[in-house]
Amino acid sequence: MSTKSSRKDLDENKKQILNLLNEGKLITTEEAPSSSNDPSVSLEDKQKITIACAKFCAFDMQSFNTVKGDGFQQLCQTVIELGYKFGELKADVPSATFVLPDPTNVSRRIQFLANEYRLKLIQILKEDLKNVKLVGVSSDFWKNCYTSDNYLTINLHYTKDKKPITFMLSTLLFIDSKTGDNIVRMMKNVLISYEINPEEMHIIYLTESGPHFVCGLKDEVHLRCICHGLNLVLQYSLGE
């Protein structure tokens, strides 16, 4: 076999492994060494734990390294011991460090879960918006005080069975200049990614009174948030 052919096969193998990792079908083996008392835990069960940890980090906005924290491991250990105490399985109790995933596996699973939930939300919105004539889209910037990165959050609002429904569609890193055109383009691109056509749907936009929003939404139905105005008044008043 030639060197060129071997290198091509190696690159193809690497590509397949990366695809499996990104799809959550393969996990790495970096984990705490098991003790003699740790029972055998199947790969399927470990993947379930990895998914649960990924949801915990995503839903509660926790760091991936949380799963390696002493407090989190003590909590899991207590839950495991209680499960074995009241469960029917009579076997040695595994240590939490043995069954908890590595943070790298958690981070890989996050993207897989995000895509899965995004597809589910698209189907929910597709059904709900069939009977909705008017929706609201609220948006605002926030800044990471440690990195100074700017993020734009886009929310969707509508009513169903006379009850208000709100979904946070996306929070995106905003690296472009904060012009009105750039902001509105990003907002509409997010709506399109959820199969919502902003040119066909009746939309009321709700934002702060910043000039970038006012300028960008000048051709749309645009309401300025009263709460933002009151907050600024209080800040300046108390500051003085």
pLDDT digits (tens, 9 = 90+) for 37-88: 556 778 888 888 889 899 888 888 888 889 889 888 888 888 888 787 767 6
Structure tokens of 15? 């590509």
Residue pLDDT, tens place only, 169-218: 999 999 888 899 999 999 999 999 999 999 999 999 999 888 899 999 99
Going by their DSSP bridges, the two strands 163-173 and 150-160 should be labelled as: antiparallel
| Local confidence band at 29 (pLDDT 50, 70, 90 cut-offs) | very low
Which one, of 138, 200, 183, lies nearest residue 164 by Cα? Answer: 138
pLDDT at residue number 30: 46
Residue-level pLDDT at 31: 46
Distance CA 136, CA 129 (A): 12
Overall pTM surpassing 0.85 (yes/no): no
Domains of the chain: 11-112 (no CATH), 132-239 (3.30.420)
Token pair in block for residue 55? 């949801």
Instruction: Note the pLDDT of residue 189.
Output: 96
| Contact (CB, 8 A) for 155 and 161 | no
Which residue blocks in the chain are alpha helix, DSSP H? 3-22, 43-59, 70-86, 96-99, 103-128, 180-193, 211-216, 226-239
User: Given this model, what pLDDT does residue 166 score?
Assistant: 96
* Cα 230–Cα 235–Cα 240 angle in degrees, nearest 5: 130
The CA distance from 22 to 6, in Å, is: 24
State the sign of the Cα–Cα–Cα–Cα dihedral 72, 114, 148, 152.
negative
